[in-house]
Amino acid sequence: MHPWHVRPQKSGKGSAFVIDAAKRRIITNAHVVEDATVAHVRRLGVPKRWPAKVLHLSRVCDLALLTVEEDAFWKGMEDVELVDTPHLQDQILVCGFPIGGDSLSITSGIVSRVTLCSYGTSTNKLLAIQIDAAINSGNSGGPVFLNLQERQVAGVAFLKHASSSADNIGYIIPKPVVDNFLQEIEVSGHVKHCCTAAVGFICQPMENPYLREKYKLSKDQSGCLVFRISPLSICSQHLRVGDIILEIDDKQLADDGTIMFRDDERLSYAHTIRMKMVGETLHLKVLRDGKELHLSYPIAARDPLVPEFHNLDCVPTYFITGGLVFVPVTIPFMHHALGAQWRRVAPVRILDAMMGYKSAEDQQIIILHQILVADINFGYKQGMIQLKDFNGTPIRNLQHLAYLVDTCSEEFMEFTLDFGFRIVFRTRSAREESQAILEQHAVPHDRSPNLQDCAGQRPDLAPAVAVDP
């Protein structure tokens, strides 16, 4: 995987449906239209294709809104009604245009499960409905009807379980997630923080009796133990490590980290958080030193140490010196570099670092991704390993590294990697040979465009705070 390369253009197709005919709004999956240079839509039974415009897109909840400007497209068009999350065993119909033909396909099934799952490459889990009806390539973005005659839609088809050991497992995006997406558009006119609300802490289950006894949890109480808090969040001003979360927004938290959803169904407490709008107040009941406290604070958007979405919170970025290719760790990078199963094959130390919180707003995890072979780096074979410091200076981010290398006046450049590994170059030799290395490996520049714009400029580093281990 080379971050200086642009992928070739390709075409694709998906399904969509009208969610608001009066406002001329069409909804589909974000992954159907993301990065599209042009998009066209076609009405059922009509051969003509109309040019469409992407109005809003959220990779977090995998939804996008489109419109068509031509009046002819909307003649006689009716929208649908989104209904509340269906119950287990409810009958559903999946409509769309999957592979295997050009005409409308309708498959039937039932609701198998209501759960939280990851949308695409995101580590952010959202509410999803599992169904046993077939969802194939091309179905993405289409409506899943609870009642076709009444035009009642249970959600948006978006994912198929691709495991070879599983059959007939598909997922749809339910009304609460769609509503969150549409509400932010209605309130702010754009999509930026949809389904990204975060509590600012990590907690663990308290099912073990000795753990409960240690932290003075009575038999009538249940909750989860806070063991890590984001030092940059408002949460750090209210919670402490060792607090026990008993209730979230007046909903009792079980020892396994779940809350009551409806009837006999339970979901992770994360569902309550993700469905809140950024800026809303979060209400907690906590147990601290054996005493119950009520805490409240405004909820903020997730700002993970490792960015999750291309062109949303990260772009392909790199810096090369002496043939060493340095990149910041992002979810898109890990996915493209190591494949869809990157969580299973990535170095444990990098996965561990990814679990942390930021100690500064501009902090990045920088890794040595690969080494472009040259005489100057002979004998160095490290790759996919975290960079710790340069000539004794801890590295804050990739721009910081580029500045330190560009302005280095010492005789040697020393890169200290994880585990204490060292890579050393003579400064003059590294600068003299860098261009030849780039030409030999057909690399156009020693850094990505965003770093070219600030080459030689001292980065204005944000204040750093201490992070609990």
Question: E strands within 181-240?
Answer: 197-198, 201-205, 224-229
Tokens of 88: 């287990």
Query: 317's torsion region: left (phi>0), alpha (psi -120 to 50) or beta?
Result: beta
- Helical (H) or strand (E) element with 328: strand 324-328
Out of 15, 62, 243, 448, which one is annotated catalytic?
62
Per-residue pLDDT at 311: 61
- H-helix or E-strand containing 301? strand 300-301
312: pLDDT strictly greater than 70: no
Look at residue 36 in the predicted model and tell me its pLDDT.
86
Q: What is the pLDDT of residue 161?
A: 67
C-alpha of 469 from chain center:
24
Question: Which amino acid is residue 99, in one-letter code?
Answer: I
Secondary structure of residue 25 in the 3-state scheme = strand
**Where residue 12 falls among pLDDT bands split at 50, 70, 90?**
confident
CB neighbours of residue 29 within 10 Å = 27
pLDDT of residue 166: 58
DSSP β-bridge partners for residue 27: 17, 65
Beta bridge partners of 113: 130
What are the Cα distances from residue 180, in Å, to 173, 301, 307, 459?
11, 14, 21, 37
Query: What is the rounded CA–CA span in Å between residue 263 and residue 89?
Result: 14
Find residue 28's DSSP bridge partners. 64
Give the pLDDT score at 365.
94
**How far apart are alpha carbons 319 and 325 in whole angstroms?**
6
pLDDT of the residue at 383: 85
Going by the DSSP 8-state scheme, the letter that residue 432 receives in this structure is H
Alpha-carbon distances of 91 from 83, 212, 339, rounded to whole Å: 14, 43, 36
Other beta carbons less than 10 A from residue 210's beta carbon: 7
**Band of the pLDDT at 341, cuts 50, 70, 90?**
confident
308 or 74: which leads in pLDDT:
74
112 is catalytic: no
pLDDT tens digits for range 229-261:
999 999 999 999 999 999 999 999 999 999 999
pTM, two decimals, is 0.85
185: three-class secondary structure by DSSP: helix
Among candidates 23, 110, 145, which has minimal Cα distance to 74? 23
What lies within 8 Å, CB to CB, of 352 at 6+ separation is none
Catalytic-role residue among 15, 31, 222, 446: 31
Q: Which of 185, 186, 161, 183 is nearest to 172 (CA)?
A: 161
- Tell me whether residue 453 is exposed, middle or buried, using C-beta atoms within 10 angstroms of its C-beta: 0 to 12, 13 to 18, 19 or more: exposed
Please tell me which residue in 15, 122, 140, 222 is annotated as part of the active site: 140
- Give me the chain's average pLDDT, please: 90
- For residue 329, the one-letter residue type is V
Mean pLDDT, rounded, for 431-453: 93
| Selection from 266, 265, 448, 461 nearest residue 363 by Cα | 461
DSSP category for residue 237? G
Residue 155 confidence class, pLDDT cut points 50, 70, 90: very high
Q: Which candidate, 16, 6, 94, 102, places its Cα nearest to that of 54?
A: 16
Residues 6+ positions from 156 with CB-CB distance below 8 Å: 27, 28, 29, 63, 141, 142, 143, 144, 172, 173, 178
Instruction: Calculate the alpha carbon distances from 221 to 129, 260, 293 in Å.
Output: 31, 15, 14
Q: How confident is the model at residue 3 (pLDDT cuts 50, 70, 90)?
A: confident
Q: Which amino acid is at 332?
A: P
- Long-range contacts of 262-267, Cβ-Cβ distance < 8 Å, separation of 24 or more: 265/88, 265/114, 267/114, 267/115, 267/116, 267/127
What is the per-residue pLDDT across 344-393, written as a single tens digit (0 to 9) for each? 888 888 888 877 888 899 999 999 999 999 999 999 988 889 999 999 99
The residue to which tokens 């520049």 are assigned:
445
Percent of the chain with pLDDT over 70: 94
pLDDT value of position 294: 97
Query: Confidence band (pLDDT; 50, 70, 90) for 193?
Result: confident
Q: Helix (H, G, I), strand (E, B), or coil: what is residue 33?
A: helix
Residue 164 has pLDDT above 60, yes or no: no
Q: What is the pLDDT of residue 178?
A: 96
Instruction: Name the nearest CA neighbour of 416 among 377, 438, 388.
Output: 388
- SS3 of residue 216 by DSSP: coil
Instruction: Name the token pair of 413.
Output: 């450049």
Residue 235 neighbours by CB distance under 10 Å: 21
* Cα–Cα dist 311/24, whole Å: 26
Give percent above pLDDT 90 in the chain.
67
- 50 exposure class (CB count in 10 Å sphere: 0-12, 13-18, 19+): middle
Torsion over CA of 310, 315, 316 and 317, rounded to 10 degrees? -150
CB 32 within 8 A of CB 12: yes
Active site residue 140: yes
Confidence of residue 81 (pLDDT cuts 50, 70, 90): very high
Task: Give the number of other CB atoms < 10 A from CB of residue 418.
Answer: 16
